[in-house]
Amino acid sequence: MKIEKVEGIVVSETNYSESSKILNVYTKEHGILGVIAKGSRSLKSKLRAVSTKLTYGYFHIYYKEDSLSTLISVDMINSLKNVKSNIKKISFVSYIIDLTVQVSKQSEDNLFDWLRASIIKIEEGLDPLIITNILEIKLLQVLGVMPSIDCCSLCGNQQDIVTVSVENGGYICKNCVTSEDKIYDEKVIKLLRMYYYVDIDKISKLEVKDNLKNEINEFLDLYYEQYTGLYLKSKSFLNKINGYDSIATN
Ligand SMILES: [Zn+2]
């Protein structure tokens, strides 16, 4: 067995045998890995404090490709103390983790960098709803159900975009819009595109008015409901406890 150092975040933990745990660690190098933390539930174990959900660090492991790896030690990169001490931040980060893990099951892509960047930005104090929505729209691409945000989803027109439609899967131009279509604010239309293209690591400031934020969140909830069916329950719970209006109920 060879020892490897991998960068990762614990996304879930399960008790195993008398005193151990099995951790699922989302790693930069290998995607999601099952890692056994032997003896980590015993009070004097060095692994006790780091064998918990949301530990972010360098994991030294005996790496096995096809079965459980074994944890040796962890060098913490960031304690995520702001996230861990704030129920709102925790609820967003838990949802982000659940969603990313679910999407990973449907894709070969390693989503670690987006996951890490999103959590770090929430830790640094950026608006968790905006960060969550940015990640959600990026993940739609991975899921293969990206809305059309470069041109009208019906005719391909790149000009005169007047709204965005869940049913039609993206932008709608003035020639294609009907009285049935909900007209979203012009800024919502632009922000959806900006959210998709922005590099999460490079965001240093986020200012979006509450009504626009809520409209974007509502659009994405409806879109997820229509095209993915993923994790709407946990998302509507999150919306409820954080007081966001959302039509999506499940
Ligand atoms: Zn059109």
Alpha helices in 58-145 (DSSP H): 81-84, 87-105, 112-123, 128-142
pLDDT of the residue at 231: 63
Tell me: the pLDDT tens digits for 216-241? 999 999 999 999 978 667 787 788 87
**3-state class (DSSP) for residue 158:** coil
Neighbouring C-beta atoms of residue 49, cutoff 10 Å: 11
Yes or no: say if 114 and 138 are a contact pair by the CB < 8 Å rule.
yes
Give the tokens for residue 128: 């968790």
Span from the CA of 167 to the centroid of ligand 1 (angstroms):
14
Residue 248 in this model has a pLDDT that exceeds 50: no
pLDDT-derived band at 249, boundaries 50, 70, 90: very low
Two tokens, residue 23: 């951790």
More confident residue, 232 or 128: 128
**Which tokens go with 178?**
């009907």
Torsions phi, psi for 109 (to 5 deg): -65, 140
Residue among 184, 200, 52, 32 nearest 120 (CA): 200
Residue 245 reports pLDDT greater than 90: no
Q: What domains does the chain contain, in order, with CATH numbers?
A: 2-79 (2.40.50.140), 82-242 (1.20.1440.120)
Asked if residue 83 lies in contact with residue 122, where contact means CB atoms within 8 angstroms, the answer is yes
- Whole-number Å distance, alpha carbon 190 to ligand 1 midpoint, is 17
Ligand 1 centroid, distance to 222 Cα (angstroms): 21
* β-pairing verdict for 56-63 and 2-16: antiparallel
Question: Strand, helix or coil at 143?
Answer: coil
How many C-alpha atoms does 78 have within 13 Å on its Cβ side?
17
- DSSP type of residue 226: H
- The strand pairing partners of 148, in sequence order, are 170
Q: What is the pLDDT of residues 71-80, one digit of tens each?
A: 999 999 999 9
- Which strand (E) or helix (H) includes residue 189? helix 186-197
The pLDDT value recorded for residue 237 is 76
pLDDT greater than 90 at residue 170:
yes
In angstroms, what is the span from residue 178 Cα to ligand 1's centroid? Answer: 11
Beta-carbon neighbour count of residue 128 at 10 Å?
25
Q: How confident is the model over 102-107, as a mean pLDDT? A: 94
Mean pLDDT of 26-55: 97
Residues around ion ligand 1, judged by CB within 5 A, are 152, 154-155, 157, 173, 175-176
Cβ neighbour number for residue 40 with a 10 Å cutoff = 23
Distance (angstroms) between ligand 1 centre and the Cα of 172 equals 5
CA distance 119 to 89: 9
